[in-house]
A and B are shown apart, each in its own frame.
Chain A
Amino acid sequence: MTIPKPESIRSILATDCGSTTTKAILIERRGEEYRLIVRGEAPTTVEAPFEDVTRGVLNAIMEVEELAGRKILDGEKIMTPQSGTQGVDLYISTSSAGGGLQMMVSGVVKSMTGESAQRAALGAGAIVMDVIASNDGRLPYQKIKRIRQLRPDMILLSGGVDGGTTSHVAEMAELLAAADPKARLGAGYELPVIYAGNKDARKIVEERLAHKTALKTTDNLRPVLERENLTPARDMIHDLFMEHVMAHAPGYRKLMTWSPVPIMPTPGAVGLIIETIAREESISVIGVDIGGATTDVFSVFQGVFNRTVSANLGMSYSVSNVLAEAGLPNILRWVPFEISEHDLRNRIKNKMIRPTTIPQTLEELIIEQAISREALRLAFEQHKMLAVGLKGVQQERTISDTFEQTASGETLVRLDHLDLLVGSGGVLSHAPRRAQAALMLLDAFLPEHVTELAVDSIFMMPQLGVLSTVHPKAAKEVFEKDCLIRLGSTVAPVGPGKEGVTALRATLEFPDGRRETLSIPYGYLKLVPVPEGQSVKAVLNPDRGLDLGAGKGREREVVLKGGVVGVIFDCRGRQPFTLPADRERRISKLAEWNEALDAYPVAVKV
């Protein structure tokens, strides 16, 4: 099957097989531009009783057919190319079903090649189950036992700079060979192992692993200490994901024959889109995709892309793990009404065992959104820990400095430098009111100074990510016009303050020349409607202990972009942000903030 020429493509059908839901979108060329026409979805069918991913894909496409009033399927086959008003010119897909791509990575020094290998795997869209390194503190037999237990889909072995010592790499290869690891899916195929370490050790690695695993070799991902070269390893992960892993997941062999474009792991596709926004607008971006099983965080700061996945933080399969990791009090702190621990615990577990259900009552919706704040917060904490720079790259230094600086890598993620925060995933994209999504993002990420907020309208970043590899124009047009919903800007002064005392004075100048002066007390939220596509000029004067990016108490002039929610002045405090300890005060404060943003249909009763 060949990929049609971009200019000849009139219609595109794209699916994303998530762990819970399979989403299908139909894109058509209307005049000179590409637009989203409809979206359909159906439960993913990787699991029993179907055990065939294509069932869910067909169901989602059937829904697209019904909604668009257009025939796409001929029996159980997608009609390509488009003929008249039937069929489509291109079909593409991403997938994270069946637990996604689960990898184990290995390096020599945990914080150096180990970390680089981890970043390469994460960037390719994998879940990293463990990082095994010479200096990870485990005894050899413990490492071997661990490798055996894990049963990953793939292993990435790295270590050493080119031309360096080979003995540690050999040691890691020997451990792997001794463990004789087996692949997760299907006993009948050899586990793919990618070697991306010291090129001088290739032969040694081959001798030890080639007869026991499906070994592939690629360029060293850390050729010199000061530079990472992750792309070859990432590309190889994608290739092997298709060749080995996907081919053994139920129904994927069939699905792969439907598309001329390789199936991409969902997070890898979302990462592509986030990188593109950051590059084209020259801004710092954080993107988050909260799914049923996992939460992915992507960031681009100083031009460096990072992705992490929190494998067990999600809103359905992993919802109970959010409770286990965050603790009940942290979830309850976001719930603006009384609920017993006993009741909440049972509700969360019932969602875990029936992951595809949705909130029917307002109370249930608010609880789910409370849980999501904690899942997002925890995933972001994990991201900050891994998104660290290659230390001291641009500094003149001796080799001893290199080691010193490696031990103390600072996070690249700076909330005070963040320009755009994009949310994606069911709980954010499908929040009945966009203000709910804005508030979830604010509460979980606590952006500082001035930041723009956006959500993926109907959760189609994965499909657009894979589309961007074959038709960048169509991907960009749909992304800007139909996918990204700009919620508005937020202004959040940093520093401690006293409840009720004026924290910020702002003078706003609207496009029609109207001027408005605001005074917002500490501990309050204030929403100023500014529609999407419009901006206001603002002169911001924080109180003397507070900083908006120009220094404590210093005036700052900015342009604030509007959005479907508007401009949110968040004077609830940063560093620290605290919720009242007293239960009644906390509940009344939450209700007040919800009301300030008109987040829910009726005021939630205390």
Chain B
Amino acid sequence: MRTDVNAFVGSYPFRRVPGTSPDAVLAAMDRVGLDEAWVTHLPGVFWRDPTEGNAWLLHLAREHRRFRPVPAVHPGLADWRDALRAAGDAGAPAVRADPTFYGIDPAGPAMRALAAACGEAGVALSLAVRFEDGRQRHPNDHAPELPAAAVRALIRSDDRVRLLVTHADRPFVEEVHFGSTPAEAARIWWDICWIWGPPEDHLQTLLATVGVSRFVLGTGQPLRLPENAAAKLDLLDLSPGDRAAIESSNARALAGGRTL
């Protein structure tokens, strides 16, 4: 079983990306041997109301059982608790928020309230550090990257919330992990899509220092080639148990046993 916790469907506003349709993402999953993907409605990230993509996403997940929906929740909108409740009712393994794209403080009161509500509901909260390399972003793509300080603040803000942080690199992971108590750090999962392999061996180092239990397979597809995450794992000398943990069982722990 291989689970991609970081996938997207739908078009990207800042450049043409092939393979964003559900069928194309499923084909890419077949190509690299992924059994299921936690998917975000990509256009919604950039909408004033990102939850307007949720109904389509939930419908998609009902149609294609290999997709698990990660609906968006914008805690700056008055009825955000309804969106969270709907996601929970639908068995979503996580909800996502992209505060810097929504124009709200990533560690402010609204995001803290969302973290607390996710903790209470038992739904993981997914946060992306970035979508593209900062050096190549479109001239009109100005939203700041998620700061590590915000992740530290959110994990401290509620002792039940579980966070999935995607697209983080080694310094970001280390700053948050070693800037948190062991109990806090044990509620954060990191996807591997932005962590370097050899010869710098950042992922190998993090698996030794932070621990295998904290990492999950994420690709960032189709914005990124899903082959990258698989290649990264193939370059490690992982035991079958550790590989299975990264590819699936850690994601199940992150999801808290939530199923559709």
Q: Do A and B come from one complex?
A: no
